[in-house]
Amino acid sequence: MDQQSIAQPHDRAALSPAPDRETEALPRPVDDNDHKQGRRSAAVQLLEYGDYECPYCAQAAAPVRRLTERYRDELIYVFRHFPLVSQHPHAFRAAVAAEAAGAQGRFWEMHDLLLASQPALGPADVVGYARAIGLDISSFEAALVDPVLADRVRSDALNGVRSGVLGTPTFFVNRRRIEGGLHESELDGAIQAALRSTPLR
């Protein structure tokens, strides 16, 4: 089992007392508005609140990909935005760029490219990434200033606050928040425990 650390909570989390390591706190369940990979009826939900400018989210990308491949039909992976705008000046715009790509059916391609391309997340950079994944650039640029997409990012972040998210990445396994310095093996263990328990309703 790979013991590489995938994340320490972002520095913002260090400003507040650490909550319990596992807490049931996901007031907004996964719904049709979420970005998902996997079967909606999967027994286990792995949900991440992330920030495209957070280096720990970038470090988490490969382990999360391995877990989704390992569990295939047993796991659905969900990503929600939590841009830490006071610390990451490009995070909010990058999140909107992912949503703009999603409007053309290419959310996950942009998601992966943004995380892989840190710290180059300026306005010209995201347009270049849109071009690289074959988006219609005029539509993409119009979507970047669409208040509906910006509101979607804000809605994710607000729900993260309501769920007790303090830093990025923060993971939930079947609505239970997993806290602390995570290893891939710890998330794997949480997934296995969820598979052994009552299926998520």
Q: Check residue 162 and give left, alpha or beta (phi > 0: left; psi -120 to 50: alpha).
A: alpha
3-state helix, strand, coil split of the chain in percent (to 5) is: 45, 15, 35
Q: Retrieve residue 26's tokens.
A: 């996901």
What residues have CB less than 8 Å from 124, skipping those under 6 apart?
none
For residue 184, the enclosing domain spans 5-12+20-26+33-196
How does pLDDT run across 132-156, given as a tens digit for each residue?
999 999 999 999 999 999 999 999 9
Residue predicted with more confidence, 27 or 143 = 143
Residue 181 has pLDDT above 70, yes or no: no
Residue 179 has pLDDT above 70, yes or no: no
Q: Is residue 201 part of a domain?
A: no
Please tell me the predicted confidence (pLDDT) of residue 182.
72
Q: Is residue 182 part of a domain?
A: yes
Count of structural domains within the chain: 1
Q: Which has the closest alpha carbon to 134: 108, 109, 111?
A: 109
Please tell me the predicted confidence (pLDDT) of residue 198.
60
What CATH number did the domain enclosing 82 receive?
A: 3.40.30.10
The HSE-up count of residue 137 (CA atoms within 13 Å, CB side) is: 10
Q: Is residue 178 part of a domain?
A: yes
Q: Is residue 44 part of a domain?
A: yes
